[in-house]
Chain A
Amino acid sequence: MSITKKDVLHVADLARLALTEKEIDLYTGQLQRILSYVEKLSELDTSGVAPTTTTVPPETAFREDRVTPSLAQEDALRNAPLSEKGCFKVPKIIE
């Protein structure tokens, strides 16, 4: 699998990252090397093996449906760059 400049721009866009020309070239090369390295794994035939998403024993950890205290509103908003009227204030979303 080869990584193109277009792939890097696509991923950067999804991650809301603005990259310089220099960075685009740098990451294209780096990502290419990383993927080639991981590609080694596909040399192994895993057609009969279920994907491993966890190595923890397959017991689902549940919690009971009980309400526990939430944060105070001022604490919830404490890290927000902007807040007003109990709400997080963000740049206007235009649809």
Chain B
Amino acid sequence: MKYEAVIGLEVHAQLLTDSKLFCGCSTRFGSEPNTQVCQICLGMPGVLPVLNKKAVEFAVKMSLAVNCRINPRSIFARKNYFYPDLPKGYQVSQYTEPLSEHGHLEIDIDGGRKRIGITRIHMEEDAGKLLHGEGIEDSNFSFVDLNRTGVPLIEIVSEPDMRTSDEAVAYLKALRDILVYLRICDGNMEEGSFRCDANVSVRLMGAEKLGTKAELKNMNSFKYVKEAIDYEIQRQIDLVENGEKVVQETRLFDASKGITASMRSKEEAHDYRYFPEPDLLPLNVGAKLVDQARETLPELPEAKRARFITDYAIPPYDAGVLTATRELADYYEEVVKATGEPKVSSNWVMGELLRLLKEDGKDVGDCALKPSAIADLIGMIKKGAISGKMAKEVFEEMYKTGKPPAGIVKARGITQISDESELAGVIDRVLEANPESVDRYRSGKVQLFGFFVGETMKATKGQANPQAVNKILKEKLAG
């Protein structure tokens, strides 16, 4: 490779508060346009914003989770620009003194670990939504819905530490997992509650000086992030190879074409004239708030994964799947606690349960099936009360109805007969009814073994435990 790419990411995460950052309007998604707005978020004259405490607590939690240093004092600033999604004419953000700085997180890449630096995390308010196109006949106008205006965001800015699109995606996934674990963001990229801009530049391998960067926007899935970055890296390499210059600009990803294209913004678009927001006092976070946030931090995805591998001796793949969400991990741990069988439990939860949930497009939280019922089923298989094959059918019914396995097995009459004295009685009757075959078997025609197994199964309506039948038959036929 002659060139290397340098990638830094800016992530906007919508915080899961009930009300907006500076007013009491609801943050609910999908309501009728302009029904969650008030004098404050509409930017009427003479109103005063008041900071939402929970939003600060959430931002502090995220800062701690990615090892950022919290600034005891940070200030809000006005970022000035005119755009119809921003009724005030400025966005309240943080600029020179952000909430926290100097963090990092680690990603798994190519079988190794890599540390990605986090420059800063700051708080800001979201802007409204512009609706064009679909269902809007009047082509000379845009339509503005300001319900989202003022919804709390944190912006997480990384160091330019990533070199490939795979590293960028791994970083984004790690970041999103943490936000979702902390229950401070739903991580939904399609609905825009987790958004990413990428700064991409290329340079000759080994060069120290950074190349001119382009800022990529409009990537609302991990797949698009990867495609956009890969396209942009190649585009810049081609430019350099042809002796042309990379222009510093914002480029939009076009998912239908798989390319990035210049936004052709005005030259002066980036003169935001930041200044301290006079309507808000400096934010003094205070040791008490930080301590409380630290005490309520849950076990984070990385730590949980490592613990599952060590404590339960399950493969890293299983551990990765089972820790995808906190709810699933908790569910799995309850099954293990009741069965004492980590790998078997993983097979049922990861294999059967996740398969059925995926078919229904549901989460583990929506499912009627309780962990204790799965544990009961595993116990019944272990005792030989039902076969593994029957268990799968029973499991599907348990999943559909939420009923415990014992009742289903009884109602269906599919109990497996493992009781040796009971089976011995049945086998005795089978042998008595077929004296001729017994003689032929004993004189060397051992292929007849299958015939006896079949007869026994028939006599028990298929409910006999095959292993037990084999064992008893062998003993009895040996004479």
Q: Point out the residues of chain A lying under 8 angstroms from B273, CB to CB.
A: 14
Q: Point out the residues of chain B lying under 8 angstroms from A2, CB to CB.
A: none
Q: Is A18 an interface residue (CB 8 A)?
A: no
Most B CB contacts (10 A, CB to CB) among A59, A76, A84, A86 go to: A76
Q: Is B39 an interface residue (CB 8 A)?
A: yes
A16 vs chain B, min Cβ distance (A): 6
Q: Is A85 an interface residue (CB 8 A)?
A: yes
Q: Point out the residues of chain B lying under 8 angstroms from A73, CB to CB.
A: 32-35
Q: Of B19, B32, B39, B284, which one neighbours A67 at CB under 8 angstroms?
A: B19
Number of A-B residue pairs having CB atoms within 8 Å of each other in the complex = 133
Cβ-defined contact, B281 with A59, below 8 A: yes
Determine the distance from Cα of A91 to Cα of B92 in the docked complex, in whole angstroms. Answer: 25
Question: Which of A27-35, A40-48, A50-58 interfaces with chain B?
Answer: A50-58
Cβ-defined contact, B281 with A67, below 8 A: no
Determine the distance from Cα of A76 to Cα of B130 in the docked complex, in whole angstroms. Answer: 16
Q: Point out the residues of chain A lying under 8 angstroms from B276, CB to CB.
A: 53
Determine the distance from Cα of A60 to Cα of B57 in the docked complex, in whole angstroms. Answer: 13
Determine the distance from Cα of A16 to Cα of B453 in the docked complex, in whole angstroms. Answer: 91
Interface size class of chain B, counting residues whose CB lies under 8 Å from the partner chain: 35 or more
Known contacts A59-B281, A60-B283; is-contact A90 B84 (Cβ 8 Å): yes
Known contacts A13-B268, A61-B51; is-contact A92 B131 (Cβ 8 Å): no
Q: Is A26 an interface residue (CB 8 A)?
A: no
Q: Point out the residues of chain A lying under 8 angstroms from B56, CB to CB.
A: 62
Interface residues of A in 62-93 (CB under 8 A from B): 62-73, 76-77, 82, 84-93
Cβ-defined contact, A59 with B284, below 8 A: yes
Q: Is A10 an interface residue (CB 8 A)?
A: yes
Question: Which of B134-142, B161-169, B360-368 interfaces with chain A?
Answer: B134-142
Q: Is B36 an interface residue (CB 8 A)?
A: yes
* Binary per-residue interface labels of chain B (121-150) against chain A in the complex, 1 for a CB within 8 Å, 0 otherwise: 000000000111000001111111110000
A88 vs chain B, min Cβ distance (A): 4
Known contacts A65-B54, A68-B19, A86-B34; is-contact A95 B282 (Cβ 8 Å): no
Cβ-defined contact, B53 with A63, below 8 A: yes
Determine the distance from Cα of A86 to Cα of B145 in the docked complex, in whole angstroms. Answer: 8
- The size of the chain A interface, using a CB distance under 8 A, is 37
A58 vs chain B, min Cβ distance (A): 5
Cβ-defined contact, A88 with B34, below 8 A: yes
A interface, over-half SS: loop
Known contacts A10-B268, A59-B281, A86-B34; is-contact A91 B26 (Cβ 8 Å): no
A84 vs chain B, min Cβ distance (A): 7
Q: Point out the residues of chain B lying under 8 angstroms from A66, CB to CB.
A: 18-19, 24
Determine the distance from Cα of A80 to Cα of B51 in the docked complex, in whole angstroms. Answer: 27
Cβ-defined contact, B284 with A60, below 8 A: yes
Most B CB contacts (10 A, CB to CB) among A53, A61, A64 go to: A53
Determine the distance from Cα of A72 to Cα of B42 in the docked complex, in whole angstroms. Answer: 13
Q: Point out the residues of chain A lying under 8 angstroms from B18, CB to CB.
A: 65-67
Cβ-defined contact, A91 with B19, below 8 A: no
Name 24 interchain pairs, CB-CB below 8 A, sorted by A: A13-B268, A58-B281, A60-B285, A60-B286, A61-B50, A61-B51, A62-B51, A62-B56, A63-B50, A67-B25, A68-B23, A68-B25, A71-B39, A73-B32, A73-B35, A76-B35, A77-B34, A86-B32, A87-B143, A88-B146, A90-B84, A90-B142, A90-B143, A93-B130
A-B pairs, top 8 by smallest CB distance, nearest first, are A68-B24, A65-B54, A87-B143, A62-B53, A88-B144, A86-B33, A53-B276, A63-B50
Known A70-B38, A77-B34, A89-B141; 14 more pairs at CB < 8 Å: A10-B271, A13-B268, A53-B75, A53-B278, A54-B281, A61-B50, A66-B19, A71-B42, A85-B143, A89-B144, A90-B142, A92-B132, A92-B141, A95-B263
